[in-house]
Amino acid sequence: MKALDAAQRLDELLDDTTTAIRPKLKWRDGSTEVLQRNDAALNEPNGEATVSKTRYVRTKVSPAKLDRLLKSVADRWKESGYEVKDTAPKQPGFAGRAPDGFSVRCAVGGSGNIYFDAASSAVEDPGYSGTVPGEKGDRIPKDPDGYPLLKPDVTDPYWSA
């Protein structure tokens, strides 16, 4: 599989995940990145790469609604045949592996940040690491120090209450 094909598959996984959540959430997509894999002994590219993308939830989700959101995601993944496992016992989150080897992780970070990371299984090495051409993601605002503002910024009558 080529990096651009993997990028399209990541979009499908992330879209399927977020459309399972009702009412709908607002989000921003990060860029789609490719990372060359290296041979462990020689530390040189081995001809394979991994493609990944993160979707950041912009909707503020109240602690009282968080379990409902996480359950709807886990239920969708199970319905789709994913193997679902807990990943972070100290904070809410879990990961799913689709039958085709692609994976998605749902995590809740500090300040109520919720995000979904999707990653490919091994793909054909495109000869570089970095952003997949044409897959820069959404424009994410920056704070005064130049760091991306990923904290939820959209209030929703259902999710934020």
Q: Contact at 8 Å (CB) between 4 and 132?
A: yes
Higher pLDDT, 112 or 5: 5
Residue 110: per-residue pLDDT: 79
Question: Is 130 a residue whose pLDDT tops 80?
Answer: yes
Mean pLDDT along residues 90-108: 92
Predicted confidence (pLDDT) at residue 118 exceeds the cutoff of 90: yes
Local confidence band at 39 (pLDDT 50, 70, 90 cut-offs): confident
CB burial of 121-138 (b: ≥16 within 10 Å; e: otherwise) equals bebebbeeeeebeebebe
User: What is the pLDDT, as a whole number, of residue 88?
Assistant: 66
How confident is the prediction for the chain on average, in pLDDT? 93
Taking the C-alpha atoms of residue 1 and residue 70, their distance in angstroms, rounded to an integer, is 31
Q: What is the DSSP letter of 83?
A: E
pTM for this prediction? 0.91
AA letter at 144: P
User: 1: which DSSP letter?
Assistant: -
Q: Are 112 and 128 in contact, with CB atoms under 8 Å apart?
A: no
Measured distance CA(113)–CA(154) in Å, rounded: 12
